[in-house]
Amino acid sequence: MKSRFVIAALILALIAPLSAVASDYVIGDGDVLEVAVWGVSELSFTARVRPDGKVTVPGLGEVIATGKTPTELQRELETGLRRLVKSPIVTVSLLEITNNQVHIFGGGVASGVYDLNRRTTLLQLLCQISDFAQADLSRAYLMRSGEMIKEGFSELFLRGIAREDIVLQAGDVIFIPLAEEQNVYVLGAVMAPRFVVYREGLTVMEAILEAGGFNRFARPNSTVILRKVEGREERIEVRMNDLIKKGDLRQNFRLNVGDYVIVREGLF
């Protein structure tokens, strides 16, 4: 009897690293499980989790597997089998994973289903998407079990703020909307008044340079940004000469989608 438990302990020590890797994975419909009961081959089995989330366990009948981690299911089976086996030792292994998917939709990027073959964070998944030109990451969000758990991906993906990252789970849904407005408008005393395609982090200096810079009638210290904020117009005075000649970086405001940059003219 003693030798039996010594051998069992050695086996558990060997499989512990594998259990740790899978401990966070949540079993889903369609996954294939291998359940082994040490020393009792009649109670060991392999089964695919049915659409109702259950597997048939010898001696116990129908048991819900979906929604549990392998460790949680293992403990539940050990408890249930105690009426059949003295001190049962159960291991639950994943032979096939079919339910570890994340869904992306919203129009800002191509909708699709991504398989999570390993531990994957939101940033790692976003890096797999090729084109964000039409996406509004500031309004993107992540849903889990019907609840929004993260809103806005700009700080993470565009500014590299790692604390905004999050580990994804099977069944997560990511919404990335289409940006409603893609332009910033530069008008007034510039060489080529035009719209500038908005990009995250665009500054007033960059927008003016893309419009050819100031013309000879410009009064750079009389530049203004017109911005819509919750239905009302906001005016931001910009002293561009202070930025250019004095290096006052406080004047190099970041622009928002839909902003108008107007460079006023002087008589001389």
- From first to last of its 268 residues, the chain has per-residue pLDDT tens of 444 444 444 444 434 333 333 446 788 888 899 999 998 888 899 999 999 999 999 988 899 998 888 999 999 999 988 888 888 999 999 888 887 789 999 888 888 898 887 788 999 999 988 788 778 888 899 999 889 999 999 889 888 898 999 999 888 999 999 877 678 999 999 999 999 988 889 999 999 999 999 999 999 999 999 998 888 899 999 999 999 999 999 999 999 988 999 999 976 5
Question: How high is the pLDDT of residue 21?
Answer: 39
CA distance 112 to 108: 12
Reference 140, options 98, 99, 182, 176; nearest CA is 176
The CATH number of the domain covering residues in 2-96: 3.30.1950.10
Kindly report, as residue ranges, where domains of CATH 3.30.1950.10 are found in the chain: 2-96
The CATH number of the domain covering residues in 183-265: 3.10.560.10
Nearby residues of 80 by Cβ (< 8 Å), 6 or more positions away:
57, 59, 60, 63
Question: How high is the pLDDT of residue 160?
Answer: 85
pTM recorded for the entire structure: 0.51
Is residue 260 a contact partner of residue 187, using CB atoms and an 8 Å limit?
yes
CA distance 231 to 144: 32
Q: Quick one: 101-175 is in which CATH superfamily?
A: Outer membrane lipoprotein wza domain like (3.10.560.10)
Residues 111-150 as b or e (16 or more Cβ within 10 Å = b): eeebebeeebebbebbeebeebeebbbbbbbbeeeeeeeb
Kindly report, as residue ranges, where domains of CATH 3.10.560.10 are found in the chain: 101-175, 183-265
SS3 per-residue string spanning the chain: CHHHHHHHHHHHHHHHHHHHHHCCCCCCCCCEEEEEECCCHHHCEEEECCCCCEEEECCCEEEECCCCCHHHHHHHHHHHHHHCCCCCCEEEEEEECCCCEEEEECECCCCEEEECCCCCEHHHHHCCCCCCCCECHHHCEEEECCEEEEECCHHHHCCCCHHHCCECCCCCEEECEECCCCEEEEEECECCCEEEECCCCCEHHHHHHHCCCECCCEEEEEEEEEEEECCEEEEEEECHHHHHHHCCHHHCCECCCCCEEEEEECCC
Question: How high is the pLDDT of residue 267?
Answer: 62
Nearby residues of 91 by Cβ (< 8 Å), 6 or more positions away:
12, 15, 19, 35, 36, 38, 74
Question: How high is the pLDDT of residue 199?
Answer: 84
